[in-house]
Amino acid sequence: MDLQFRADPAMLPHAVPGGVRFVFDAAPGTCSVALAGTFNSWVGDACMLEYVAPTRWQATLPIPAGRHLYKLVIDGRDWIADPANPWLSEDGQNNSCLTVDETGAVLMREAGLSAAAPGPLHARAALASPDWLRHGVIYQLSVPAFGGDFDGVRAKLGYLSELGADILWIMPIQPIGVEGRRGTLGDPYAVRDFDAIDPALGDAAALRALVDAAHARGMRVLLDWTLNRSSVDHPFTRTHPHWYTRRADGSIYYAVPERDYFAGFDFTDRALRRYLIGSMRGWIERFGFDGLRFDDSDITPCDFLDEIRADLAALRPDIALISQSYDEFHHLAACDLTYEGGTREMLRRCAQGGADGTAFARYWNESTFSFPRGALRMRWLEDKEQGRASDFLGRPAHRPAAAVMLTLDGVPHLLMGQEFDEPTWTGWPVLFNPYQLDWQAFDGELYRHYQTLIHLRRRHTALRTGATAFLDNLPPGAIGFTRTDQREQIVVLANMSSTTLTLDAGRVPVSPLYASGWQDEHAKLGPYGWVIGTLAGTA
């Protein structure tokens, strides 16, 4: 996220011989401090800090290249962000961040990054992504929740076409583990057979018919892939126990806390890597999937992601790989798209009066120019681990927030039901029991809003690939920016507040394409209003 305060460099994670040193000043009476993060699968007692002086604790840990999230665990009970580190994660989970490069240097995000003063990684070019991903709108769905089975989803493709979504992301469709199952169905990310289809969803012919029908409509289809683990009762835990992480007594485990129905893979085993890549190839070859989304790839070795990319790109040059991470290094050789959740958080802060358009622009610059040049980010208001946008932002702020998200750079993502304010989704654990979206709660006005925004994005290339520049001197509550390409310049203004805002009419000569609450003659924007239009003389 945006940097909230100036840090003391001595207290920030920094490179020393042997790795990265973490320093923490604890309250008197603290008995223990541990470090948990993506580098040790979030195990709360894997790395204990040493007491080195009154209140001072520290530890040095070898950390591989890439972005890492972490928390401090105080007295085995309280998980807190590092109070000395102003850089918090974009995922809404209040994790502290750091990035390590290949030399072992620690790259902390700096305040004030911009096109004129980019971060060191911006000098490196991101992997070139396929145009169909760059220009698309992603719609994530669970087959049983959205349509019941493959045939049910295929029957709803017309609905998605009308909405304008052209990339379907299908959550895991393999059989689910039974041992340790939570709920009656279990976690769909606890895969019991990577090469099979859950028979409750249909057979191979039905899946092929779904993918073919989507392709016939000009859609692409992505398969969600559980990367780091299997279910704890996968047959490989018996036939190939050496493929798994094991304790000293030989028992198999998954290091992430509270996930005892998983068995974690040990990616040092080359045969395991070959098997998993072969399984991925099989789904692409058999069913025509256009790409994969990798679950929890932030705890996957980067060199394995690079291997996957090299192999699958040889099979299909225009493949797209999405990483569930915020890792700059995933863009260099492995993945086309990483998550970008800070836009969602900054929109909430603007709606609640905790940030303004200047802070929003500052965050955009710092997050953009700290990444490799040309890196595609996936912008979202909802994902599988979050509840509904209306609950998070406040219902009135949902519409202007959607207007911002769908006109910014990057690739927009919608979670099933987001477009009609479906009320029952609270996060992916609802899928552990029989669950379907509540289509009876359909908000047609919100659906039409998303539909209009998506079709506007499709009609105007500036909204997909144009340069982004932010407007300054806007009143509190307003976010404003332009998207510019060789054909036109489009201005976007959104009012995240409950009051009418007056803008500088001389600076915002807008010819509206889509607006709500916009009074052109007075340059006023009503509560929670927006205007998307061409700047005078550029259409």
Report helix, strand or coil for 284.
Answer: helix
**Distant-in-sequence, close-in-space partners of 513: CB < 8 Å, separation ≥ 6:** 456, 460, 490, 532, 533, 534
- Rounded Cα–Cα distance for residues 361 and 115 (Å): 12
Domain limits, the chain: 9-107, 133-465, 468-535
pLDDT at residue number 110: 83
270-287 vs 302-315: helix axis angle to the nearest 10?
40
- Rounded Cα–Cα distance for residues 526 and 121 (Å): 41
Task: Provide the CA 124 distance to its chain's centre, in angstroms.
Answer: 22
Point out which residues pair with 141 in neighbouring strands: 170
pLDDT at residue number 181: 94
What does pTM read for this prediction? 0.94
| CATH code of the domain occupying 468-535 | 2.60.40.1180
* Domain 133-465 in the same topology as domain 9-107: no
pLDDT at residue number 507: 61
pLDDT at residue number 393: 96
Q: Which helix (H) or strand (E) holds 415?
A: strand 411-415
Contact 324, 295 (CB under 8 A): yes
**Distant-in-sequence, close-in-space partners of 275: CB < 8 Å, separation ≥ 6:** 243
- Rounded Cα–Cα distance for residues 421 and 412 (Å): 17
Q: What is the pLDDT along the chain (539 residues), one digit of tens a residue?
A: 566 677 888 899 999 999 999 999 999 999 999 999 988 888 888 899 999 988 899 999 999 999 999 999 999 999 999 999 998 888 778 899 999 999 999 999 888 899 999 999 999 999 999 999 999 999 999 999 999 999 999 999 999 999 999 999 999 999 999 999 999 999 999 999 999 999 999 999 999 999 999 999 999 999 999 999 999 999 999 999 999 999 889 999 898 877 889 999 999 999 999 999 999 999 999 999 999 999 999 989 999 999 999 999 999 999 999 999 999 999 999 999 999 999 999 999 999 999 999 999 999 999 999 999 999 999 999 999 889 999 999 999 999 999 999 999 999 999 999 999 999 999 999 999 999 999 999 999 999 999 999 999 999 999 999 999 999 989 999 999 999 999 999 999 999 999 999 987 556 678 999 999 999 878 899 999 999 999 765 55
Point out which residues pair with 531 in neighbouring strands: 493, 515
Q: Which residue has the tokens 């893979």?
A: 265
**What are the structure tokens assigned to 34, written together?**
């541990």
pLDDT at residue number 135: 97
**What are the structure tokens assigned to 131, written together?**
């145009």
Return the CATH number of 9-107, one of 2.60.40.10, 2.40.50.140, 2.70.98.10, 3.30.930.10.
2.60.40.10
- Rounded Cα–Cα distance for residues 496 and 261 (Å): 42
**Distant-in-sequence, close-in-space partners of 9: CB < 8 Å, separation ≥ 6:** none
Return the CATH number of 133-465, one of 3.30.390.50, 3.10.20.30, 3.20.20.80, 3.30.565.10.
3.20.20.80
What letter does residue 34 receive in the DSSP assignment? E
342-351 vs 357-368: helix axis angle to the nearest 10?
170
Query: Which residue type occupies 504?
Result: D
Dihedral angle at the C-alpha atoms of 451, 164, 365, 504, nearest 10 degrees? -30
Contact 224, 170 (CB under 8 A): yes
